[in-house]
Amino acid sequence: MKIIYKGGNIRLTVVLENIGDFIYQLKTILDKRGKSDVYDEKKTFNFFKTASYSDESWDRVYSNIKYLLILVFSSLYAPMALAFFGVAKVGLLTFMGALAPVVGYIISEIVLGSKVSKRIINGELKLMPRDKDKENKITRIYTTASTVLYILLVIIL
């Protein structure tokens, strides 16, 4: 999103912290001042959805980082331990273990991202409150499942 003013312009991206809230507040101020003609409603709405998803996604990363790191180390070291005991072979597949939880995490983000649009309050740049516990549960289910599937794959192959 670009804010244009007499002295130049400012480019806003979704990587800015709390950008969704900022867009909501900016739109509210512009509307109160009768300046709703200075922005494109549809583009602002689409940017708001993306920004809100980005804010929530970063929050999930921070709240799940320890769990994700444990899974990454598990998916790296479990196959090596299995190989040590002769249950599995060490190879390229073993060292690709760090990707297993990441794949699960990406899938969980796709699932959760699809739900952001459903939480938007009609006619407003606001979201209904999110259920962080449910989000964390979904994230942990997908990341754990992908890690377990990966370890099983290492055992089978």
Q: How many CB atoms lie within 10 A of CB 136?
A: 15
Q: What are phi and psi of 126, to 5 degrees?
A: -135, 150
Please state the pTM of the whole predicted model. Answer: 0.79
From CA 4, how far away is CA 98, in angstroms rounded? 44
Residue 91 reports pLDDT greater than 70: no
Considering its fold, how many domains does the chain have in total? 1
**Sign of torsion over alpha carbons 97, 112, 19, 37:** positive
Residue 44 reports pLDDT greater than 70: yes
Residue 90 reports pLDDT greater than 80: no
What pLDDT sits at residue 136?
93
Q: Which domain holds residue 144?
A: 2-156
Write the pLDDT tens digit of every residue in 52-81. Answer: 999 999 999 999 999 999 998 888 887 777
Q: Residue 22 corresponds to which amino acid?
A: F
Write the pLDDT tens digit of every residue in 111-156. Answer: 999 888 888 887 778 889 999 999 999 999 999 999 889 888 877 7
Residue 32 reports pLDDT greater than 90: yes
The residue-averaged pLDDT of 21-26 equals: 91
Q: How many CB atoms lie within 10 A of CB 108?
A: 23
Residue 106 reports pLDDT greater than 90: yes
